[in-house]
Amino acid sequence: MAEFLLELLSEEIPARMQTRAADDLERLVAAGLKEAGLPFERIAAYATPRRLALCVDGLPKAQADLSEERRGPRVDAPEKAIEGFLASVGLSRDALEHRQTEKGEFYFATIERKGRPAAEVLAALLPGIFQTFPWPKSMRWGGGRARWVRPLHGLLCLFDGKVVPVAFDGMEASDRTLGHRFLAPKPFRVKHFADYRERLRAAYVMLEKDARIEAITADATLAAKDENLRLAEAGTLLEEVAGLVEWPVVLLGDIDPKFMALPSEVLTTVMRAHQKYFALTDPDGKLAPRFVLVSNVQATDGGGAIVAGNERVLRARLEDAQFFWDQDRKRQLVDWFPGLHEVVFHAGLGSLADRAFRLQELADGIGQQIGAKAKLARRAGQLAKCDLLSGMVHEFPELQGVMGRYYAAEGGEPPEVAAAMAEHYAPQGPNDACPAAPVSVALALADKIDQLTGFFAIGEKPTGSKDPFALRRAALGVIRLILENKLRLPLRALFQAAFRLQPEAVRAALGKDAEAGIVADLLDFFADRLKVHLKEKGIRHDHISAVFALTGEDDFVRLLERVAALREFLASEDGANLLVAYRRARNIVHIEEKNDATTYDGAVKSAALRESQEQALQTRLEEVQKLADAALKNEEFATAMSALARLRLPVDAFFDHVTVNTEDKALRANRLHLLANIRRTLESVADFSKIEG
């Protein structure tokens, strides 16, 4: 067994592309080796800012030899047929074998194929992978025709310690690579992966991304501790910074105290989003006037010049922020409202002012249903988008909503309205907290429902992997807001109200009957999103479908209560057996309805029931239907399921002793009506036809 080592050295790869690129390289090479019949024990890919690397362990030195047997024409076949067969297998007539079969005597050929050396296979496989590598964006450079994310500088390719003769855009593979761009720029040779990794580290390159993350975290935590400070929540910044440096060196910088009066979100946004610095907090959790930066250079002066330069850049950015903060506060938040008329939200959905009007109306309606004060909900809807015209948000778009809260509070708006400004975009992801205050929830729901309804109305629905307006995220946000706050909201009515608020031109173009179709499409879309959301909680999608498809349930809290009751029922012995009986009854009725070109949903004639088992079943069905109807009316779904369980014994007895398709046509029809009654009774609780397995 041998080892394969590959490295593509280039200009700096964008941090956001590195992880996916490593995964793609591993996937493509693994698939190519598998197709070529070269098994391996382990494969791993690595990415740094300047290189993609791959190591494959346990590769055979050559493909396995293959022996293939082919049957040719009959021995007495025409000469041309025999010659054609010989040409196809590349053998002479003397190499063929005569063999008697049930169909006569035939020629057989045994073709021996010697496996190719693995290095030869790799040399043929790799150029195709390089040429079609799926970078999100790629470029050409110089006079070459090859495309890569950034210009390539080197190609290292070793199999069993020897160079694989592979080329890419005129660049020949070798056993040489480079270390850190500044700290160890001289080339060096490597023999195998362990040697490669060790020599890279000696050349100031940490190959593994996890190692760089651990080093940054440990060094930053230690540096902060020495100053009696703590590293603030880093989030995805750690991943990004680890993709910017090959040799992380942690340094501490100072924030000019005069900027500490700025909102903390402004400071952290400038540091994290724009400068890639880590914020620090004091023991009380308050933002400290210090920051952590990660350099890619181990400076001879201990990093003093680097820190000074970064402090100077940060000071300039914070000067801008301070200017916008001072200028913006000279106006009330509502003063920006007239300007919303001049900003187009979407060509088909009007201006931001049009949207603000829709948010007022929707937030008012939702607020009345969830206990929010209507006046506050309307005010929140009116002001929700005003901060988009502020200087601060124009300069730092990440702060939309956040600045709305500050400017609302500065302008004397009620605290509930100010909080709603910051929270109405939430939740924006699975780890984002949901608003809980009624006004905030009302506005957050209004914002997402208007967005969804408007884009569905103009035909901008998500398709496949494309979702340019983040409608899937908006739907999941609505679902979380409803479920986590246990809101009893009828979504159908909300979608109808939102549709009627859309621009008149949109509704006129769709026609007067379009509302029902748009609302139905939205409910189907939400059913799919709900399945995705609940999958992580172990709730089966078919259980959701069984409730949703039957009732068109648009109260998600009630829907989940029904699903929970259904799950518990089907997990019981009675439920599992009754599901089998339901399917049997449904299938019989479906087949006979198709054969007879009629339906058997009519009433059962009790007087025509002959057998005691069918009489007992009809009596129990009537009893169970009454119990189930009463339980469903009171939203006692577990009780409704318990009522269904009482059908098991009489249904089993019916199928054991009663013949449905009897020759007596009237009796047969009455028994089919009885089976249809079983189907109807069970489907009053859930559509059991949607249950899988």
CATH classification of the domain holding 395: 1.10.3210
Asked if 224 and 292 touch (Cβ cutoff 8 Å), the reply is yes
pLDDT at 353: 97
Tokens representing 671?
A: 């028994």
Confidence of residue 248 (pLDDT cuts 50, 70, 90): very high
- Here the tokens at position 201 are 């580290």
3-state DSSP: the chain helix, strand, coil percent, rounded to 5? 55, 15, 30
Same domain, 392 and 480: yes
Q: Which of 152, 180, 202 is the C-terminal boundary of a domain?
A: 202
147-205 pLDDT, tens digit each = 999 999 999 999 999 999 999 988 999 999 999 999 999 999 999 999 999 999 999 99
Q: Does one domain contain both 154 and 244?
A: no
Q: Look at residue 626 and tell me if it is in a domain.
A: yes
Q: Which residues, other chains included, contact 649 with Cβ-Cβ below 8 Å and sequence gap of 6+?
A: none
At residue 360, the pLDDT reads 96
Region 545-560 average pLDDT: 80
Average pLDDT, the chain: 92
Residue 358 lies in a domain: yes
546 in any annotated domain = no
609: pLDDT strictly greater than 90: no
Identify whether residues 532 and 384 lie together within a single domain: yes
Domain identity same for 185 and 245: no
pLDDT of residue 350: 96
**Mean pLDDT, residues 103-131:** 88
Rounded to whole angstroms, the Cα distance separating 629 from 528 reads 28
Q: Could you read off the pLDDT of 653-683 as tens digits, one per residue?
A: 988 888 888 888 888 888 888 888 888 888 8
Domain carrying residue 303: 209-328
Tell me, yes or no, whether 471 and 612 share the same domain. no
CATH code assigned at 624: 1.10.730.10
Among 202, 219, 238, the domain boundary falls at 202
Whether 360 maps to a domain, the answer reads yes
Q: Tell me what pLDDT residue 67 has.
A: 65
Q: Is residue 337 part of a domain?
A: no
Residues 286 and 304 in one domain: yes
- Residues with Cβ within 8 Å of 444's Cβ and at least 6 positions away in sequence, in order, are 420, 423, 424, 425, 426, 435, 477, 481
| Residues 138/155, Cβ–Cβ less than 8 Å | no
- Most confident range (mean pLDDT) of 46-50, 490-494, 630-634, 638-642 is 46-50
b (16+ CB within 10 A) / e for 472-508: ebbbbbbbbbbbebebebebbebbbbbbebbbeebbe
Which alpha helices (DSSP H) does 5-101 contain, by range?
15-35, 79-89
CA proximity to 241, closest of 220, 255, 222, 265:
220
- 546-551 mean pLDDT: 74
Q: Are residues 295 and 358 in the same domain?
A: no
| Domain assignment of residue 240, yes or no | yes
What pLDDT score was predicted for residue 582?
A: 85
Residues 499 and 646 in one domain: no
Same domain? For 422 and 496 the reply is yes
The verdict on 107 and 121 lying in the same domain is no
Q: Are residues 270 and 292 in the same domain?
A: yes
Lowest model confidence (mean pLDDT) among 192-201, 383-392, 602-611, 626-635: 602-611
| Single pTM value for the model | 0.80
Residues 317 and 390 in one domain: no
453/478 Cα distance (integer angstroms): 12
Q: Say if 659 falls within a structural domain.
A: yes
Establish if 177 belongs to a structural domain: yes
Q: How many domains does the chain have?
A: 5
* Average pLDDT of the segment spanning 392-416: 96
Q: For residues 375 and 524, what is the distance between their CA atoms, to the nearest angstrom?
A: 33
Q: Name the domain boundary from 298, 328, 358.
A: 328
Which pLDDT band, with edges at 50, 70 and 90, does 550 fall under? low
Q: Tell me what percent of the residues of the chain surpass a pLDDT of 70.
A: 99
What is residue 535's predicted lDDT score, i.e. its pLDDT?
79
**Which residues are registered as beta bridge partners of 253?**
291
